[in-house]
Amino acid sequence: TMVYDFSLMAKGLRGYLWLFPVPDGRLNVGLMHYPDPKNNLSGRELQALLRTGLEHYGIELPTKGVRGWPVWGYCPKTAISEEGVVTVGDAAGIDGLTGEGIAVAMEQAVVAGDAIDEALTSGDRAFASYRRRIRKATVGRELALDRWLARLLYGSKRWHEWLALVLLDEQVINMYARRVDGSEVLADQKAKLYGALGRHVLQRGKRLR
């Protein structure tokens, strides 16, 4: 079982605790925290939250071996190429909602490969259109949507309202599951997303309780 636990948001985290099974009966555990100037946590504070969250699952965090690193989210307006250089994954900006970088890199690599092939054929290695090509690709449209959703969920004082929508609307959960398994592009489901917002307006009080 893979666990995504958002309960630590009540203690200041702007993200989730994860527990992923790995070989030999071990667990990969950690936190994803969306940095916000108004709610920026230190490494020590994040470690304390990680320990607190793991206690709920009866897991004790080792005293050594905990590490962290900063990354930045994808921004459609940020340059992600230069003369003779294209970037993917963490270097081009991760998924701001989930913190995912590897799957993003694999999808962006398809666009990068085409751009590199064209550059080698034409001799034009400026990659002037690369940022726009990434943005228009499915991966870019999904990342742009997640950038917007991350700002609502993690960067808003009303985060609990958006979390209630994400976790308590069955259609939203099913849409995201189909997005993860590759059968649906969430960025193409604007009508369904607006419908979810409409339902949330009607059920907001019940969900918050």
Alpha carbon distance 176, 19 (integer Å): 19
pLDDT band of residue 1 (cuts 50, 70, 90) is confident
Rounded to the nearest integer, the mean pLDDT of the chain is 92
Please give the model's pTM, rounded to 2 decimal places.
0.88
Mean predicted confidence (pLDDT) in 137-156: 93
Flag whether pLDDT at 37 surpasses 80: no
In tens, the pLDDT along 17-28 reads 999 999 999 999
Flag whether pLDDT at 78 surpasses 90: yes
**pLDDT value of position 35:** 78
In angstroms, what CA-CA distances link 2 with 32, 144, 155, 159, 183?
15, 25, 25, 23, 20
**pLDDT value of position 70:** 86
